Amino acid sequence: MLGSFFLLASLVLEGLAVSLLIKEGLSNSGISLVILLHLFASASVTLGLMQTLKKESGYRNWILLGTSLTLTIPVGGLLGVLLLFFLRNKLDPEAVSDLCDEYKKYMSCSGRRKKLPGKIVNLPEFVRQGTEIEPAVQGLSDKDASRRAGAARILGKLGDKSSLERLHSLAKDSYAVVRSEAASHISEGHEEFTTNIFQAQKESSAHPESSEAHRILANIALEYCESGLLDTQAKKTYLDLAETEYLESLTLEAEQAEVYNNLGRISIIKQNFLEARERFEKALSYDEDNLRALLGMAQCCYEFGEYEKIPSICNRIREKHPHPDRFLDIISFWTEESGAKDGIKY
């Protein structure tokens, strides 16, 4: 009877501890009270089990075993719960949820259509992204410094343009820990790109006759420009480097559809859409079903107001590339905005 009472009391105390942990989170007072309640619950379980075993068997070995189990299992359980709440507070829950959702969408590779944006944003961006995902971390408006720093860590791990742009804003945060976290990831990004560019320049200088060496250097420089790390002047410098190296690569090997695609991307960044269209057309002359070139042409048509040409491009993409859902959604959205929707086959 007495043993049952102690066991019941331990359950009540553990319930209070968990409720308090949920309510108070990881505040100092909350943790102190939870630990105190947990110790009382552990002691109650120990006393209850000792009374029960003593009454039934009288063996001290059983009592010793029961005492060990009731002390280690609840403590281990508490540590597990504390770990979950620690992660919840350190990593923004919305950020983790969004990241997981984007990962599931990416891995599914199904024909499900993604939600369209509320307005047209970052139009040059879609040409660069290919079939990659660019998960965005939400919830950065939280006032808690540890959560904001946790979000900065997630952004740093993602490393895409959107994430790096958000890191730049966090580098001016009011909390020092957030500024430090953001600055460290920005610095790492610069260091990685500059190291890779330096190595590629050495290789290009050592093998000036190699089209591939020039192309690799240009690819890295263009990626640096689109990373979100550079200011306007630095971006212009690396864009010029990328364009020069791509053109040099073409003098050594003319029929390179992807090089013309990348030159088209550079023209789009420079807002020279006439030149961009010429370069995308050149890419299509070497590879008539090239997805990136078709998407680039669609964007150029949109920028020129030639909305009537977009449906045929959209249908062509749909026929040749069964599952580029994200881009087809964007093109469809353009046509809805421009009133050229009727020509698209669904």
| Helix (H), strand (E), coil (C) string for 64-98 | HHHHHHHHHHHHHHHHHHHHHHHHHHHCCHHHHHH
**pLDDT band, residue 3 (cuts 50/70/90):** low
> Rounded CA gap, 147 and 176, in Å?
13
How far from the centroid of its chain's Cα atoms is residue 166's Cα?
A: 12
Q: In this structure, are residues 94 and 139 in contact, taking their beta carbons and an 8 Å threshold?
A: yes
Q: In this structure, are residues 275 and 296 in contact, taking their beta carbons and an 8 Å threshold?
A: no
Whether residue 80 lies inside any domain: the answer is yes
Whether residue 98 lies inside any domain: the answer is no
Span of 105-119, 129-143, 240-254, 291-305 with lowest mean pLDDT = 105-119
- Please give the tally of structural domains in the chain: 1
| The token pair that represents 230 in the structure block | 């550079």
The whole-number pLDDT of residue 250 equals 95
Quick check: 280 pLDDT over 90? Answer: yes
Q: In this structure, are residues 49 and 109 in contact, taking their beta carbons and an 8 Å threshold?
A: no
Question: In this predicted model, what pLDDT tens digit does every residue of 196-223 receive, in sequence order?
Answer: 999 999 999 999 999 999 999 999 999 8
Q: Which residues of 110-123 are buried (b: 16+ CB within 10 A; e: fewer)?
A: eeeeeeeeeeeeee
Whether residue 161 lies inside any domain: the answer is no
> Rounded CA gap, 200 and 194, in Å?
10
- What is the percent of the chain where pLDDT is above 70? 49
**pLDDT band, residue 113 (cuts 50/70/90):** very low
Quick check: 107 pLDDT over 50? Answer: no
> Rounded CA gap, 278 and 36, in Å?
73
Amino acid in position 63: I
Span of 43-47, 124-128, 136-140, 256-260 with lowest mean pLDDT = 124-128
The whole-number pLDDT of residue 222 equals 92
Whether residue 179 lies inside any domain: the answer is no
Whether residue 119 lies inside any domain: the answer is no
Residue numbers of the domain that contains 86: 2-90
Whether residue 6 lies inside any domain: the answer is yes
Whether residue 269 lies inside any domain: the answer is no
- Counting Cα atoms < 13 Å in the Cβ hemisphere of 55 gives 10
Whether residue 21 lies inside any domain: the answer is yes
pLDDT, averaged across the chain:
70
Q: In this structure, are residues 283 and 255 in contact, taking their beta carbons and an 8 Å threshold?
A: no
Helices (H), 91-144: 93-108, 125-129
Coil/strand/helix, residue 159:
coil
- Global pTM? 0.53
| The token pair that represents 137 in the structure block | 């971390």
Work out the end-to-end distance of the chain between its first and last CA atoms, rounded to an integer number of angstroms: 73
Q: Can you list the positions of beta strands (E) in 197-305?
A: none
Question: In this predicted model, what pLDDT tens digit does every residue of 320-335 receive, in sequence order?
Answer: 776 656 555 656 655 5
